Chains A and B, each alone.
Chain A
Amino acid sequence: MSILHPISQPSRWSRIKDSKVGYSFRSNPVAVASMAIFSIIVIMALLAPVIAPFDPYDPAQIDIMNSEYPPVWIDGADPSFLLGTDDQGRDLWSTILYGTRLSLMIGLCAVTLQAVLGISIGLISGYVGGRLDSLLMRMADIQLSFSTLMVAIIFLAVAQAMFGSETFNQYAIYFLIAVIGVSEWPQYARTVRATVLAEKKKEYVDSARVLGFGPMRIMVRHILPNSLSPIFVISTVQVANAIISEASLSFLGLGMPPSQPSLGSLISSGFDYIFSGSWWITAIPGVVLVVLVLVINLLGDWLRDVLNPKLNKG
């Protein structure tokens, strides 16, 4: 993302700032605000071990006697717990920071996995065509006709039963990445295939073929770089989706264990107390999740408008 680009290269930086994307970004307040909020969330999540006053993974720092303190602006709060505590006495502020970090990581890794699978399958499918294309695309259709959550729930439930909950909890993060990653590759594959089909007809691809280049080189060096715009757009949407999927699975008890809470499991753990007055355990992580997903989607919308060649007149 352009705003995170190191300032050590002023020429490059100003080139990005003055480019069409840079200009459209600067003149779109929604995009700027979304980017600012997204960056703040990402930086705080990355710096969680530094910022957070407590380590929620360390049982020695947790005291059950501190449970269910409300946030500081409500009567009866303990000033050392900024956003109050959860049912186990963990500082909610620290837990949210760590949880956001975990959610973001699972989202990004799952999307990377989706992208790697989907882009390679889409490239091959679109470039080679014929029977291979039909086979791969029918596979994608079948995959898409199962909802992500359904596949994930079955897979995770089976895994939990097979490995036992202790082993499962230990490797939960990898299971989540794998299951969210594998179940959504067709989104990428379809988009990439459609772009490849359009690019394949262009003369620069013919020109590369006349020069005798092999299919691998043409796909990777020539077609792929020209198919990146839709990949960027879909990636933003997919990151948001993956974060939601992770939260939903954790909420259902099939994701991160309560000892390593992600945003989803945090919301879930507070759910039992929501009617006993401790609404903040669910509400505050919920707001963070909504804001995070919203800003990613807003950025995705902006990116789609900028990169849409039909809207780029002149």
Chain B
Amino acid sequence: MSLLSVRDLSVKFAMRDTHVTALNQISFDLERGERLGIVGESGAGKSITGFSLMNLLSAPGYISGGKIQFQGQDITGLSDTKMRSIRGNRMAMIFQDPMVTLNPVLTIGQQMVETLKAHRKLSKSEAEQIAITKLQQVYIPSPEERLNQYPHELSGGMRQRIVIAIALLLDPELIIADEPTTALDVTIQADIMELLLELCQSSKVGLILITHDLGVVSQMTDRTLVMYAGRIIEAGRTREIINDPQHPYTQGLINALPQQTAPGQRLKQIPGSMPTLTEVPKGCPFSPRCAFASEQCQTTPPEIVRHAHVEVACHEVNRLQGPELEGYTG
């Protein structure tokens, strides 16, 4: 039994007159201790995926179909009270901005002890002891002193470490990290990523890493999902996807990176931009920007097929093989 199993999950947003689809029948599995990357640009639906897994979607968003099974238990229809015992306890989430998670008027210690006591029967000193151990795990110097500090007294990197420590407090089986280092500097980002990887490997925690940075995905994850306009368009082993992407969008995304072009040369750009949720095209959502789009692409949304070690949702995937790739400049 896998740790997490998502089947045909759809999320809609109730707008003024219509309901727009933000997630369109996405399915994936996560094994115990596995690290999964979800890549996409803003508006692809990757953060909404994270929120719906945690059952944190708030109006006007709602889950309109599909099933999320966490350790065999269907959690889509769980009441808020029941969900709360899973959330934070067996599943934890790390957000981009640590100040969203940390309460600015409580000390680090108060917040950690409060979280622990909400889920476990512990005395204050026992809880503090656990808090100190967790702070040590994330390499925070002099953890006893930190317990009495307020979030604003700490630097950005330190705050994000504390958020990770809080996420780890109850020894969850799954951590969902939504752009955990986007707000941080590169040198700090590298430290945090290394820490997260080390923690996941040592205690067999499953990780869903939501990011826009393909380099980070490459460093951190076993498997990757590429999302576009609320759909999964490519899924497979991270190495396969990065070394040999099959979907034209994934190819375009990798080729657009400045590293892929000689300095001073024109970058291989993808024309246009991601459709907004209200204007997703009828067929393949990527077809208006795709150099290979055929008539079929504009009318029928592609099914996910297995192709060259990965799963990919593209009608024209067979045509994309070989030398034609070179001609892809957009």
Give the B-binding residues of A (Cβ under 8 A).
Answer: 23, 314
Closest to A20 in B: B16
Q: Which residue of A lies closest to B277 (CB)?
A: A314
Closest beta carbon of chain A to B277's beta carbon, Å: 10
Interface size class of B (residues with CB under 8 A): under 10
Which 3 pairs between the two chains have the least Cβ-Cβ distance? Answer: A23-B16, A314-B60, A314-B13
CA distance A56 to B60 in the complex (A): 56
Majority secondary structure, B binding face: loop
Q: Complex formed: what's the CA distance from A23 to B16 in Å?
A: 9
Question: A314 to B13, alpha carbons, bound, how many Å?
Answer: 11
| Chain B residues closer than 8 Å to A23, beta-carbon distance | 16
B21-78: which have CB < 8 Å to A? 60
A182 to B13, CA, bound (A): 49
Task: Report B131 CB to chain A, min CB distance, Å.
Answer: 34
A15 to chain B, nearest CB (A): 15
| Measured CA separation A185–B13 after assembly (Å) | 44
Q: Which residues of A contact B60 (CB under 8 A)?
A: 314
3 inter-chain pairs at a CB distance below 8 angstroms, sorted by A residue, are A23-B16, A314-B13, A314-B60
Question: How far is it, in angstroms, between the C-alpha of A23 and the C-alpha of B15 when the chains are bound?
Answer: 12
- Give every chain B residue within 8 A of A314 (Cβ-Cβ): 13, 60
Interchain CA distance A57-B13 in the complex, whole Å: 61
CB distance from A17 to the nearest CB of B (A): 13
**A23, closest chain B residue (CB):** B16
Considering the chains assembled together, what is the distance between the CA atoms of A125 and B13 in angstroms?
A: 43
A36 to chain B, nearest CB (A): 23
CB nearest neighbor in A for B17: A23
B232 to chain A, nearest CB (A): 24
Measured CB to CB, the closest approach of chain A to B56, in angstroms, equals 15
Q: What 1/0 mask marks residues of chain B from 1 to 31 whose CB sits below 8 Å from any chain A CB? A: 0000000000001001000000000000000
Shortest CB–CB separation between residue B13 and chain A, in angstroms?
8
**Complex CA–CA separation, A314 to B16 (angstroms):** 12
Which chain A residue has the least Cβ–Cβ distance from B60?
A: A314
User: Which residue of chain A lies nearest to B13 when distances are taken between CB atoms in the complex?
Assistant: A314
A210 nearest CB across to chain B (Å)? 27
* Cβ contacts under 8 Å, B16 to chain A: 23
> How far, in whole Å, are A65 and B323 apart by their CA atoms in the complex?
107
Q: Find the B residue at minimum CB distance from A18.
A: B16
In the complex, how many angstroms separate the beta carbon of B64 from the nearest chain A beta carbon?
17
- Chain A contacts of B13 at CB under 8 A? 314
B9 CB to closest chain A CB (Å) equals: 21
The CA of A153 and the CA of B5, in the complex, are separated in Å by 75
What's the least CB distance linking B33 to chain A, in Å? 37
Assembly CA distance A314 to B15 (angstroms): 10
Name the CB-closest residue of A to B59.
A313
CB distance from A24 to the nearest CB of B (A): 10
Nearest-neighbour CB distance to chain B for A181, whole angstroms, equals 40
Q: Closest CB of chain B to A149's CB: distance in Å?
A: 40
A314 CA / B22 CA spacing, docked (Å)? 13
Of chain A, the residue at the smallest CB distance from B15 is A314
The CA of A314 and the CA of B48, in the complex, are separated in Å by 14
The distance from the CB of A276 to the nearest CB of chain B, in whole angstroms, is: 57
Nearest CB of B to A195, in Å: 25
Give min CB distance, B179 to chain A, whole Å.
19
Nearest Cβ on chain B to A310's Cβ, whole angstroms: 15
A220 to B16, CA, bound (A): 35
CB of B212, distance to nearest CB on chain A (Å): 20
Q: How far is the CA of A136 from the CA of B51 in the complex (A)?
A: 48
Kindly report which residue of chain B lies nearest to residue A27, judged by CB atoms.
Answer: B16
Distance in angstroms from B15 CB to nearest chain A CB is 9
Cα–Cα distance between A314 and B43 once the two chains are bound (Å): 12
Complex CA gap A23/B13 in Å reads 18
| Residues of chain B in range 71-121 having any CB-CB distance to chain A below 8 Å | none
Give the distance to chain B from A314, nearest Cβ to Cβ, in Å: 8
Question: What residue of chain B has the Cβ atom nearest to residue A24's Cβ?
Answer: B16
**Cα distance A219–B16 when bound, in Å?**
36
Closest CB in chain B relative to A231 CB, distance in Å:
27
In the complex, residue of chain B having the shortest beta-carbon distance to the beta carbon of A313 = B60
A177 to chain B, nearest CB (A): 42
User: Shortest distance in angstroms between A313's beta carbon and chain B's nearest beta carbon?
Assistant: 9
For the complex, what is the distance from the CA of A314 to the CA of B60, rounded to whole Å? Answer: 10
Give A314 to B58 CA distance when docked, in angstroms. Answer: 13
CB distance from A19 to the nearest CB of B (A): 11
Complex-state Cα separation, A60 to B16, whole angstroms: 59
**B17 to nearest A CB, angstroms?**
9
